Structure 1
Amino acid sequence: MIDVLAAFAWLGDPAHWSGPDGIPNRLSEHIGYSLLTLFIAGIIAIPVGLAIGHTGRFRGLAIGLSGALRAIPTLGLLVYLAVATLNLSIIPPLIALTILAIPPLLAGAYSGVESVDKRTVDAARAMGMTELQILTKVELPLSLPLVIGGLRSAALQVIATWTVAAILPVGGLGRYLIDGLAVRRYDEMLAGSILVVALALIADGIFALIQRLVVPRGVTAGKVTDVRTKEVNRSTEELSPELT
């Protein structure tokens, strides 16, 4: 309890809210690193996942690749890249965390497209829509909740793991843990952990809200409202008084 109070006292100290080591600067660095990682991983994984979900080709390869990438120890890969390239900049952790973010983005994209009702796709194809139009105007809008779900999962992993990347001379909230450990400032370490958790919870809440907002109109509880059933029920209700 004393450590927790000391951590909040550290957070409340005005001296820690200014300068290059201040909380606003470290927080902006962490958010910037995370957004850059998600952007690069999204450019790679989402188009590939959408194509796999639409065509059904290479699905087994994608599942195997996702599992293999998940099994890679991110910290080990990070250290290996830094040592192998003799590069202590942002590049090694950016590569390692991009690899970490690809599997959930890839899985969310292809599973989202696969979840679209095939009758809807067949109807769009019967109307003369091209395959690209079917993907962009039918499958993608209906699959967006799952795509955002994959992005949500990737964001949480990236935010948490960028903390570990501070073993290299890069910025971010992980600096409080690594620098605090070096001088045994446990209040600073705990304060840094609190900031990372708070950032992850806020990001999760934002993505959860987006995930609800992108659900297409007419889709509730994960299923499309059957208009024909509603019309039949309405007609039955209107006829009931006459029958009685």
Structure 2
Amino acid sequence: MSWLTDFLGWLGDFFGNGDNWSGPGGIPVRLLEHLQFSVLALLLAVLIAVPVGLLIGHTGRGEVVVVVSANLARALPTLGLLVMFVLLLGTSSIWPVIIPLVLLSVPPILVNTFEGIRGVDPDLRDAAYGMGLRGGQVLGRVLVPVALPLILLGCRLSAIQVVATTTVASYTGLGGLGRYVIDGFATKDYASVVGGSVLIVLFALVVQILFTLVQRVTVSPGVSQRLKVR
């Protein structure tokens, strides 16, 4: 099992004892590239999906958009989209990677935002209107806080998907942790393949933990307790 020995050596490099830790192809650089792709794609998806989900969930108009979005999430092939946008836009920028990632990230956020708003107890909504709150105030002060756990769940699902899928950025010659996997397969450097895969998994776990912490900080104790009772 020479590849295991090589992998352990690669881990030694990971802890700062070799080329894998330094230079333009080093782990810090690849990790930063992966982070940049992921954050940009997720941020754009949130800016698109959350307002649309809030609007549709609050007004009840345009539900077909949510249905279509949910179906597209199951049907869109990541690699096919990537190749298509590379052919259309070239490889001189990061957009051939970012656009497919955004398209894949929007549906979970949109669907969960819509379901979160729509699922708020109608009595709670009526009580808010009875207190004299207007449409926008009801949405911002009542509906969003109650729906926040589902909204954050959609963001978390998309974030993990983006972190995993950003690996395909390597197909376009761009960076990211996927370089270790793609280049490793190309050169039969299986230690690099395993090392890159482990880093991507760890990255996804960190994202999961961060979103869990964000939910604990941002969701009110009353809403959290209500979810536990359910």
Per the TM superposition, whether the score is higher than 0.5 is yes
- 8 Å contact from structure 1 (residues 45, 102) kept in 2: yes
Counterpart pick for 1:97 among 80, 101, 104: 101
- Partners in 1 of 2:155 and 2:200 — Cα distance? 18
Residue by residue over 1:119-175, the C-alpha shift from the partner in whole angstroms, topping out at 9 and shown as x without a partner, is 111111111111001111111111111100000000111000100221111111011
Q: Which residue of 2 aligns with 1:12?
A: 12
1:75-120 Cα offsets, whole Å, 9 max, x none, are 1010011113334531111001100000001011111111211111
Amino acid at match of 1:198: L
Matched, 1:193 2:193: no
1:204–1:8 CA distance, 2 compared to 1 (3 A)? farther
Per-residue deviation at 1:224?
8.1
Aligned CA distance change for structure 1 residues 9 and 77 (closer, same or farther; 3 Å): same
Q: Does structure 2 conserve the Cα–Cα contact (< 8 Å) formed by 1:38 and 1:154?
A: yes
Change (3 A) 1:135 1:170: same
Deviations 1:7-58 (A, max 9, x none): 2320221221111111111111101110000001111111000111111111
**Cα RMSD (Å):** 1.8
Partner residue in 2 for 1:216:
220
- Contact persistence 1:141–1:216 (CA under 8 A): yes
The residue type equivalent to 2:10 in the other structure is W
User: Are the counterparts in 1 of residues 91 and 172 from structure 2 also a CA contact under 8 Å?
Assistant: no
Is the CA contact 2:90–2:96 (under 8 Å) kept in the aligned structure 1?
no
Q: Please, which of 32, 35, 52 is the counterpart of residue 36 of structure 2?
A: 32
Quick one: structure 1 residues 207 and 4, their matched pair in 2 at CA, closer, same or farther if it must change by over 3 Å?
A: farther
Cα–Cα, structure 1 residues 4 and 200, in superposed 2: closer, same or farther, change >3 Å? farther
- For 2:64 and 2:24, the matched residues in 1 are separated by 47
Residue in structure 1 matched with residue 77 of structure 2 by the alignment = 73
Secondary structure (helix, strand or coil) at the match of 2:188 reads coil
Q: Does 1:133 align with 2:165?
A: no
How much has 1:218 moved relative to structure 2? Answer: 2.0
Measure the CA separation in 1 of the matches of 2:93 and 2:182: 16
Describe how 1:57-206 pairs up with structure 2 within 5 A.
Answer: 57-206=61-210
Aligned length, in residue pairs: 225
Q: C-alpha separation between the residues in 1 aligned to 2:60 and 2:177?
A: 41
Contact 1:82 1:88 survives alignment (8 Å): no
Deviates more, 1:173-182 or 1:41-50: 173-182
What is the CA–CA distance in structure 2 between the aligned matches of 1:105 and 1:2, rounded to whole Å? 44
Corresponding residue for residue 235 of structure 1: none
**Paired AA for residue 222 in structure 1:** L
CA distance in 1, matches of 2:62, 2:37: 31
Which runs of no fewer than 5 residues in structure 1 stay unpaired?
226-244
SS in 1 for 2:221: coil
* Alpha carbons 1:70, 1:100 under 8 Å: kept: no
The gaps in structure 2 that reach 5 residues or longer are none
Question: 1:62 offset after TM fit, Å?
Answer: 1.5
User: Kindly, what percent of the aligned residue pairs are identical?
Assistant: 45
TM-score (normalizing by structure 2): 0.91
Cα drift, residue 2 of structure 1: 5.5
Decide which structure has greater helix share. 2
Q: d(CA) in 2 for partners of 1:158 and 1:127?
A: 42
Amino acid at match of 2:220: P
